[in-house]
């Protein structure tokens, strides 16, 4: 029976497999320091395969580089033996919510999310440190070789999670900031859907570097826009600086449609202009019966003044609010091909993707068009949202604003409304005060949507002298969670008269990053000596619960972290059902971590034909039961993936 790996995705190994699929001749074997064989890439052969375009050695080329870039790449690719431990007491509606709050280092969170949320996030918004010299950045000191990571990633490395001031005293290094942001954006890209977008707030300090990093990670062709946000903050030097930026990139710009207009408004306008080179005079035949928004009336052969209309054949007459006779009209038509296509009965969509519903004559005899506003084109100069509003948002909920220059919820809500549909997932891995979560709940209340949010925030301690600490908050994450709790209730109260508001998801599952649930012997059994065998028979840490194990299994298998979970008794054993139950077939996952598992229990679970099932490796009543388990599933549910831990 195969064992689960119980660590995050090894991006380096994954990349080797991708290269192997394209260039199988470049795959070879090499020995590590312990003499064990592993799959490797023969780079000399790979260079030969790419000899038409490879850039090698000191040859000049266009690229972005800085001290620490290779470390950032290694840090992004290396797996970690960490897990997410559920925390029910700090959650809201734990069993039913589809929202997540992950507390811990956001780089580790992004690694842990790689399999579960690969290609599933529609929108990412982040407000990272601006590198002003007064804020903090992550000091990622846990990058290491793949050979050593298992040993070291089991340790609680405080420097790995530490925030450090990148101040003027140490030169306020661009390299430190770039190393920090590069690995996180690289991992974040993997999570975006093909038509997904990322929005990144920034100011002048790292604006140009962020553009270059994003161009490298997402590709220049996937650049969408730079929004210039008039934030309400001012700083006077040679000029009074009163704006910030929001940089927008797509994962695949070709897959991103124009933003849909979500209202019901119809647009009307005239279909002629003043004659000119772009709009020359031409003739169109109009059949009788076209709508005429007018009382009964006969029009002269020529009218319109500077936008002349000439009746070339027939009489332009309205009767019963319809065109009475066939008529040929000459004018400077603005959309002649569309008019003639509509007359032929074709469905007409203009250059902006908007559906033309009809053409009709107005009471002045001028042809008009009517269309649904199918798309919206937000301006790149963003006004009407200020950091002062963001502060008020927090004060209204928590009695005091504990953040410097927080983003207003209405700004994030407007971005979400343009970009997302009702069931999309929105991620913010620099959550701060969780403005993004607040904005998502507001958007859902407005259009009866079911957007899901994922917030990631480090448990950064509040200083003892701070107002936040005096108010009872031990960390930024605590403030963030409390804001979501209060914001959810406020959104419900403010929309109490709306139909279906009682179904609004204002909950969240709190998951905290921690070391693996598994002991060292699970990852390195070959390093266990004989004298240690009896003390390390258990491969699961003693302080971990069955629910802790369940969530690490969900991560390992890439099963949804917000799927409904139920705990039921089957033949006297505790069994977890994920997205299913003992009264139905086809659950996404069934897990039993009890001891003394028997053939009877295995048979009952196999009858339910789950997609996946997992047991403790040492949980079977006897070795024969473990052997029988695979055979029982092959007989009763051959498509079930059976594993142990």
Give the span between the Cα atoms of 177 and 170, in whole angstroms. 12
Give the count of beta carbons closer than 10 Å to the beta carbon of residue 95.
11
Residue 452 has which token pair? 């899901």
**Does 160 score more than 70 pLDDT?**
no
**Does 64 score more than 90 pLDDT?**
no
Between residues 150 and 166, the one the model is more confident about: 166
Q: For residue 442, how far is the Cα from the chain centroid?
A: 18
- CB crowding 587-624: b at 16 or more within 10 Å, else e: bbbbbbbeeebbbebbbbbbebbbbbbbbbbebbeeee
Q: Where are the domains of the chain?
A: 1-53, 76-259+378-513, 266-372, 533-644
Mean model confidence pLDDT for the chain = 89
- CB crowding 113-122: b at 16 or more within 10 Å, else e: bbbbbeebbb
Give the count of beta carbons closer than 10 Å to the beta carbon of residue 452.
22
Of the chain, the percentage scoring pLDDT greater than 70 comes to: 90
pTM for the model: 0.83
Between residues 290 and 374, the one the model is more confident about: 290
User: Helices (H) and strands (E) in the chain — how many of each?
Assistant: 17, 32
Give the span between the Cα atoms of 605 and 575, in whole angstroms. 9
Mean pLDDT of the region 400-405: 83
Closest by Cα among 210, 198, 230, 209 to 379 = 230
Residue 486 has which token pair? 């209060």
C-beta of residue 87 within 8 angstroms of C-beta of residue 102: no
Q: What is the pLDDT of residues 576-589, one digit of tens each?
A: 999 998 888 899 99
Mean pLDDT of the region 468-477: 89
In CATH, which of 3.30.420.40, 3.40.50.150, 3.40.50.10170, 3.40.50.300 is domain 76-259+378-513? 3.40.50.150
pLDDT of residue 142: 44
Closest by Cα among 634, 630, 587 to 612 = 587
pLDDT of residue 147: 47
φ/ψ of 330, rounded to 5, equals -110, 130
Give the span between the Cα atoms of 440 and 18, in whole angstroms. 36
**Does 503 score more than 60 pLDDT?**
yes
Give the span between the Cα atoms of 307 and 272, in whole angstroms. 7
Q: Which of 45-54, 86-95, 399-408 has the lowest mean pLDDT?
A: 45-54
Tokens 């659950």 correspond to: 587
Residue 494 has which token pair? 């403010």
């Amino acid at each position: 029976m195969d064992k689960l790996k119980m660590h995050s995705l090894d991006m380096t190994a994954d990349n080797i497999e991708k290269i192997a699929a394209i260039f199988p001749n470049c795959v070879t074997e090499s020995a590590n320091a312990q003499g064990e064989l592993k799959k490797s890439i023969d780079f000399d052969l790979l260079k030969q395969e790419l000899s038409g375009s490879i850039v090698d050695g000191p040859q000049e080329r266009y690229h972005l580089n800085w001290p620490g870039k290779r470390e950032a790449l290694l840090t992004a690719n290396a797996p970690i033996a960490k897990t997410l431990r559920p925390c029910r007491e700090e959650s809201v509606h734990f069993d039913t919510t589809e929202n997540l709050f992950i507390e811990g280092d956001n780089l580790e969170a992004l690694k842990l999310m790689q399999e579960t949320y690969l290609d599933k996030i529609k929108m990412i918004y982040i407000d990272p440190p601006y590198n002003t010299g007064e804020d903090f950045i992550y000091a990622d000191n846990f990058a290491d070789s793949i050979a050593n990571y298992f040993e070291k990633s089991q340790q609680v490395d405080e420097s790995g999670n530490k925030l450090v001031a990148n101040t003027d005293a140490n030169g306020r290094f661009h390299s430190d900031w770039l190393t920090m942001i590069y690995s996180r954006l690289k991992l974040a890209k993997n999570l975006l859907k093909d038509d997904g977008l990322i929005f990144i707030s920034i100011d002048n300090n790292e604006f140009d570097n962020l553009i270059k990093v994003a161009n490298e990670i997402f590709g220049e062709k996937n650049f969408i826009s730079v929004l210039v946000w008039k934030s309400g903050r001012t700083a006077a030097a040679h000029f009074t600086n009163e704006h910030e930026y929001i940089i927008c990139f797509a994962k695949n710009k070709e897959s991103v449609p124009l933003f849909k207009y979500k209202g019901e408004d119809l647009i009307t306008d005239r279909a002629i202009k003043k004659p000119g080179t772009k709009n020359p005079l031409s003739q169109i035949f109009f059949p009788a019966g076209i709508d005429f928004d007018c009382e009964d009336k006969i029009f002269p052969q020529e009218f319109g003044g500077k936008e002349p209309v000439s009746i070339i054949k027939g009489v332009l007459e309205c009767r019963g609010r319809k065109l009475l006779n066939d008529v040929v009209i000459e004018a400077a038509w603005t959309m002649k091909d569309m008019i003639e296509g509509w007359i032929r009965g074709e469905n007409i969509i203009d250059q902006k993707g908007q559906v033309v519903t009809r053409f009709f004559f107005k009471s002045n005899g001028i042809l008009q068009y009517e269309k649904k506003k199918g798309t919206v084109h937000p301006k790149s100069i963003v006004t009407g949202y200020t950091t002062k509003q963001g502060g008020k948002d927090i004060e209204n909920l928590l009695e005091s604003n504990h953040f410097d220059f927080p983003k207003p919820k209405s700004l994030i809500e407007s971005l979400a409304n343009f970009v997302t549909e009702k069931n999309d997932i929105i991620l913010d891995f620099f959550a701060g005060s969780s403005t993004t979560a607040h904005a998502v709940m507001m958007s859902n209340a407005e259009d009866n949507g079911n957007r899901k949010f994922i917030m990631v925030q480090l448990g950064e301690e509040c200083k003892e002298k701070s107002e936040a600490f005096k108010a009872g908050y031990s960390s930024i994450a605590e403030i963030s969670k409390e804001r979501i709790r209060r914001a959810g209730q406020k959104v419900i109260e403010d929309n109490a008269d709306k139909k279906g508001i009682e179904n609004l998801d204002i909950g969240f599952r709190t998951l905290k990053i921690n070391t693996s649930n598994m002991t060292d012997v699970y990852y390195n059994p070959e390093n266990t000596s004989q004298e240690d065998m009896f003390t390390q028979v258990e491969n699961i840490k003693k302080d971990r619960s069955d629910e802790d194990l369940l969530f690490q299994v969900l991560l390992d298998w890439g099963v949804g972290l917000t799927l409904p979970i139920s705990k039921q008794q089957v033949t006297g054993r505790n069994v977890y059902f994920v997205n299913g139950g003992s009264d139905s077939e086809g659950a996404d996952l069934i897990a039993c971590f009890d001891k003394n598992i028997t053939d009877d229990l295995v048979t009952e679970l196999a009858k339910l034909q789950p997609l996946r099932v997992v047991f403790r490796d040492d949980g079977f009543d006897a070795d024969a039961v473990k052997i029988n388990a695979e055979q029982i599933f092959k007989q009763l549910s051959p498509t079930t993936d059976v594993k142990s831990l």
